[in-house]
Structure 1
Amino acid sequence: MLDISSRVRVHVEPLLAAQIDMGVCDAIEQYAPVRKPDAMNAPHPSKVAGIDSTVLPSAHTVAPPAASADVPSGVSPGSVGEVALLQDRLAGWVSDLTTLHELTERLTRTSALAEALQEVLRAGAALVGARRGLLVLEPRDGLGPDRTIGLGLARADLGHIETVPRSSMSYGRILDGLPGGEREIAEPDLFSEDGLDPRHREVAAQLGYAASYALPLSTDAAGRLGAAVWFYDEPAEPVERQRHLAGLYIRYATEHLARIVELERTRACMATIAEELLPARLPRLPGVQLAARRSSGPYGGGDWYDALSLPDAALGLAVGSVTGSGPSAVAAMGRLRASLRAYAVMEGEDPVAVLSDLELLLRLTEPARTATALFAYCEPALRKLTLAGAGHSPPLVTGPRRTEFVETSLSAPLGMLACWEAPSIELTAEPGETVLLYTDGLLHRTGDPMDRAFARLHAAAVSVPRPMRVDPGAVADHVLRTVLPDGPGRTEGTEDVVLLAARFE
């Protein structure tokens, strides 16, 4: 047994403990031989921006045998050399673990699918030492979403690659479950391979890559999600250490992607259900033009709008919001909207009666839920609207000569009082003016206090360019782009956004 001084052991044992604590016993077993140097001892290039993975000489490494004057008593020069070699290897392992930690932390901070796919492709390229790559997301169950993204490849380059027969590409063999596609596929020198597809040879020469390395994206629970392939400009392949690190990273990345894919499917399903519960098209009546915009939150919400033709060439306009989010809120929104349509057909000329009936229905059938709503009985020929609101934000009328909020009577939301009733108001629009009905999500999504959110909405309506004012859809789009700092289509917002625009001629 080596007689190693306590000064040396103090620095070796914590490194071994750190390796065990960080769950890399498999890495230690792989590089366990002490007497035979391997690639881990040599300095290696940086894997990602800001991470210097070069193994520097350890500050605690014992001096080599040549400096025998500094060797502690009782320790032979040969033993000291072995300890120094072990410390260098441990330093290399710690450097690789630090790299993996940085990359996985960076991936964990991604929540959108496109962002996560790009991060996986970039990190994998850094680990295997490639400059370009391609990732194809194609879940085996066929439920989607299907995506193809490239790193260092333009859209035209991806188009060229897609012209190659799928079975001759490494990622195609993985996705289609062909022989050899169950694990990594390394092609260190494409042009020296016998039987290389002529089209593949032509595309590789055109795009300037000579080798590739592919890994499957698969989990035990979700099955195969896709495949990633990285391209080398010259004949090359990753060394064993790079393959090991890339495999560890892809294993974690696939689990992260599986969670995001499941969330994307839920969002798409909820958005589809919500869209089916809203009007398939807006009515067309002389004297008025309509446009509607809706952006759903990540879990689906209960914000809605409606526009329906009524007797005597009248028009019913409504917006509302049900508390909560998810499937229950979407279902409640559908029930509330259907009920309001029925009440509007029967007594639409009296908006107060419509909302009173709606409040009674909500209180009797869903006593634990509240909602806000605004209903307008519109007579396009007279440019006249009769409005009633229940806890809802006031409409905004904008035109060439004025932009102002229409103050409705102050009222509690539906379902909060034993009996709801509030007076209605009348509004007469001027030719060329547009009335904007919206839900509170438009104000909340700004992140500002309510007074500043109202001011931002007012300023957005004032700033609509004159050529756009003839189109209510253009007015709605301009307002959304101006009011929302990250755009209306951003899915990270927790609030639904609904905007209904009616322009009078």
Structure 2
Amino acid sequence: MGVRDAIHRNAPLGKPTAMSAPHLPKVAGIDPMVPVSTHTAAPLKSVPPAPAAFIQDRLASWVSDLTTLHELTERLAGTSTLDDALHELLGAGAALVGARRGLLVLEPADGAVPCRTIGLGLAHAELGHIETVPRDATPYGRLLDGLPDTDAPLASPDILGDTSTDPRCREVAARLGYAASYALPLATEATGRLGAAVWLYDEPAEPLERQCHLVGLYARYAAEHVARLAELERARADVAVIAEELLPSRLPRLPGVRLAVRHRSTARGGGDWYDAMPLPDNALGLAVGSVGGSGPAALAAVGRLRAGLRAYAVMEGEDPVAVLSDLELLLRLTEPATAATALYAYCEPDRRTVLLAGAGHTPPLVTGDRRTAFVETSLSAPLGMLPCWEAPSVEFSPGPGETVLLYTDGLLRRTGDSTDRAFARLHAAAAGVPKVLRQDPGALADHVLRTVLPDGLDPSDGGEDVVLLAARFD
């Protein structure tokens, strides 16, 4: 029997008066002078049950949102090019806000490239229609220009029904069949504003608060990823410009010979190079080579080697062995830790003779209507590998209408075959050039490349530079 039971047993049935209220029993630990409330607590069974189902639903919703964000950010992190990242961002954002179409404008605030516009569910012509709207009337234009009150997302839940909307904007929306939009800025603390994304709804609509929160979290991560890829693309573009500047701006024109070249460097900037220079007495110097490594160091070595070869070709052009010997000395003095291959040919087009020497380089290929054969050259070590380099020269005479192909070993390695099979593939490609294409060295080079490398020469396809220099003798 507890205290509450003792009180309950002695309590009167009616409402007691002050004078007739019974005295509380003396119970150990209880002061009978302390007034006790006559109201008792409600039974436990009357307390509403804990909202377990509600909590479970909320937890399930949070877990689902986190899982969705994790999957989307993983997919975005797997993109290695800027274009892929932008398309992934636009598609993922559309899924998060429940839209079907949209566009993304990449326009860094610092004015640096790259700048581009991509669409989701919008054709090129439809993007052109949207761009006819005055920039300050579009959500992405206001975000990109940093107009007042544009630090947060911009929602237009009813474009056609909002009379304050720019008439041209309503006209384009009606023509393209969208009735609402939701725009989000893309920015990072380090780079500032990068661009803006806009998602379009077919009917008047506005994303829920939960959807806005999710797409905002995703956009913050995506902006960091896009900023890194944009910086990488700018660096690659700078390297490509430098690499092109280190090579001839144009090929010389001499009677009796026509030239064409095809060159592709890797994204990091490889060390394959070529040169073609007019020499005294209507002669022509042709060279191809490769420097080990890639990036700025390889490009610097290419620049020094090509400049040195041009000087040595003028001084000792009739002796290709002497040219490469001088080049080997230059390499040991300026690039002691670098190895390079090179092939130099001294050509006299009017006599149709070619005198060449190679240093660890692949042999030229002569192709025409009657023959396709590799030029037999002596084995020699690359430049920089031996204390003193020297190898005998080789002389041959191309026939009328024959083309001499000089190339780098990157062409062979990009095939993915063994060396013997790669040489066989190159030989078969040159032998199979249609007769009508043999008149143009550029068309011949394109056919050979398409046959040897059917997947193309995009810089992202492989880690090897490719140089193919074609000289057709009339």
| TM-score calculated relative to the size of structure 2 | 0.88
**How much has 1:455 moved relative to structure 2?**
2.3
Percent of residue pairs bearing the same amino acid type: 74
Which residue number corresponds to residue 381 of structure 2?
Answer: 412
Which residue number corresponds to residue 233 of structure 1?
Answer: 202
Which residue number corresponds to residue 138 of structure 1?
Answer: 107
**How much has 1:117 moved relative to structure 2?**
1.1
Which residue number corresponds to residue 422 of structure 2?
Answer: 453
CA offset digits 1:122-154 (Å, max 9, x no partner): 111111111111011111111111111111111
**How much has 1:78 moved relative to structure 2?**
5.5
What amino acid is aligned across from residue 377 of structure 2 in structure 1? T
Which residue number corresponds to residue 184 of structure 2?
Answer: 215
Equivalent runs, 1:428-467 vs 2, <5 Å:
428-467=397-436
**How much has 1:383 moved relative to structure 2?**
1.8
- Cα distance in 2, alignment partners of residues 155 and 124 from structure 1: 20
Equivalent runs, 1:54-453 vs 2, <5 Å:
79=49, 82-453=51-422
CA contact (8 A) 1:321 1:439 kept: yes
CA contact (8 A) 1:446 1:485 kept: no
Secondary structure of the residue that 1:141 maps to in structure 2? Answer: coil
CA 1:78 to 1:431, structure 2 compared with 1: closer, same or farther past 3 Å? farther
- Cα distance in 2, alignment partners of residues 424 and 76 from structure 1: 106
Which residue number corresponds to residue 9 of structure 2?
Answer: none
- Cα distance in 1, alignment partners of residues 313 and 435 from structure 2: 34
Which residue number corresponds to residue 462 of structure 2?
Answer: 493
Secondary structure of the residue that 1:190 maps to in structure 2? Answer: coil
- Cα distance in 2, alignment partners of residues 75 and 352 from structure 1: 104
- Cα distance in 2, alignment partners of residues 254 and 210 from structure 1: 27
Secondary structure of the residue that 2:460 maps to in structure 1? Answer: coil
TM-align CA RMSD = 1.7
**How much has 1:363 moved relative to structure 2?**
0.8
CA offset digits 1:58-102 (Å, max 9, x no partner): xxxxxxxxxxxxxxxx9999546x222222222222222222222
What amino acid is aligned across from residue 370 of structure 1 in structure 2? A
- The worse-fitting range, judged by mean Cα deviation, of 345-354 and 392-401 is 392-401
CA 1:128 to 1:349, structure 2 compared with 1: closer, same or farther past 3 Å? same
CA contact (8 A) 2:262 2:445 kept: yes
What amino acid is aligned across from residue 144 of structure 1 in structure 2? V
CA 1:180 to 1:493, structure 2 compared with 1: closer, same or farther past 3 Å? farther
- Cα distance in 2, alignment partners of residues 120 and 456 from structure 1: 41
CA 1:123 to 1:463, structure 2 compared with 1: closer, same or farther past 3 Å? farther
Which residue number corresponds to residue 25 of structure 1?
Answer: none
CA contact (8 A) 1:298 1:492 kept: no
CA 1:319 to 1:77, structure 2 compared with 1: closer, same or farther past 3 Å? farther
CA contact (8 A) 1:306 1:318 kept: yes
- Cα distance in 2, alignment partners of residues 377 and 107 from structure 1: 53
Task: Structure 2: state its 5+ residue gaps.
Answer: 1-43
**How much has 1:496 moved relative to structure 2?**
1.5
Secondary structure of the residue that 2:417 maps to in structure 1? Answer: coil
CA 1:490 to 1:324, structure 2 compared with 1: closer, same or farther past 3 Å? closer
| TM-score calculated relative to the size of structure 1 | 0.83
- Cα distance in 1, alignment partners of residues 427 and 77 from structure 2: 38
**How much has 1:371 moved relative to structure 2?**
0.7
What amino acid is aligned across from residue 293 of structure 2 in structure 1? G
CA contact (8 A) 2:267 2:459 kept: no
CA offset digits 1:425-460 (Å, max 9, x no partner): 112112222111111211222222222222222232
What amino acid is aligned across from residue 361 of structure 2 in structure 1? H
CA offset digits 1:368-405 (Å, max 9, x no partner): 11111000011111221111110111112222222222
**How much has 1:302 moved relative to structure 2?**
1.6
Is 1:484 the counterpart of 2:448 in the alignment? Answer: no
Secondary structure of the residue that 1:491 maps to in structure 2? Answer: helix
- Cα distance in 2, alignment partners of residues 101 and 75 from structure 1: 43
**How much has 1:109 moved relative to structure 2?**
1.7
- Cα distance in 2, alignment partners of residues 485 and 88 from structure 1: 55
CA contact (8 A) 2:160 2:174 kept: no
- The worse-fitting range, judged by mean Cα deviation, of 407-416 and 91-100 is 91-100
- The worse-fitting range, judged by mean Cα deviation, of 422-431 and 451-460 is 451-460
- Cα distance in 1, alignment partners of residues 459 and 268 from structure 2: 13
CA contact (8 A) 1:110 1:116 kept: yes
Secondary structure of the residue that 1:110 maps to in structure 2? Answer: coil
What amino acid is aligned across from residue 434 of structure 1 in structure 2? T
- Cα distance in 1, alignment partners of residues 306 and 403 from structure 2: 24
- The worse-fitting range, judged by mean Cα deviation, of 480-489 and 318-327 is 480-489
CA 1:243 to 1:422, structure 2 compared with 1: closer, same or farther past 3 Å? same
**How much has 1:250 moved relative to structure 2?**
1.0
Secondary structure of the residue that 1:172 maps to in structure 2? Answer: helix
CA contact (8 A) 1:298 1:491 kept: yes
- The worse-fitting range, judged by mean Cα deviation, of 135-144 and 85-94 is 85-94
Task: Structure 1: state its 5+ residue gaps.
Answer: 1-73
CA offset digits 1:149-174 (Å, max 9, x no partner): 11111111111111110000000001
**How much has 1:200 moved relative to structure 2?**
1.2
